[in-house]
Amino acid sequence: RRQHHARAALGHLRAALATFCTSAELRFLMAVLQLHPRDFSAWQAQLGPDAHILLIDVREAWELETAAIAPRAGIDFLHVSLGEFVAKLEHIKAQTRDDSHIVCLCHHGVRSMRAAQFLAAQGFDQVVNIEGGIDAWATALEPSVARY
């Protein structure tokens, strides 16, 4: 029932934004879902066991060495720092399928949102940003992940 209300609200938002935006701008604005880590497992379960999830960590290498998410079933991991993102777009595309859900992660969610918006602008339509980044992930899901 909540999903029905959320879809209806999203439809109203799309209609309202359509009066101010082109369809390409609207797709860009609506394409990135903000997902808090505490909701990640439920989101993954809702997608089903056959869903392809690609988690792209956009932090620098030293940050990844400092704090990393433990491997999770059903998730492929890719490290592409934000500074390399544009140059590695073809590599990112090669890691995805048509039905891939791309999840972007950074330290606090700002760099990953920029990466997610870039991917949405490139035509990826199932892009998720981890709200609060790995810091929120450590707090909500994996207390063993170092905070920095």
Query: How is residue 39 written in tokens?
Result: 């909701």
Element holding 14 (H helix, E strand):
helix 2-18
Q: Annotated catalytic residue: which of 32, 102, 104, 106?
A: 106
Give yes or no for a contact between 102 and 117, defined as CB atoms under 8 angstroms apart.
no
Element holding 30 (H helix, E strand):
helix 23-30
Please give the single-letter amino acid code of residue 117.
Answer: Q
Question: Is 106 known to be catalytic?
Answer: yes
In eight-state DSSP terms, residue 145 is S
- Rounded CA-CA distance 144/59 in Å is 19
146 contact partners, CB below 8 Å, separation of at least 6: 66, 67, 138
Residues with catalytic roles: 106
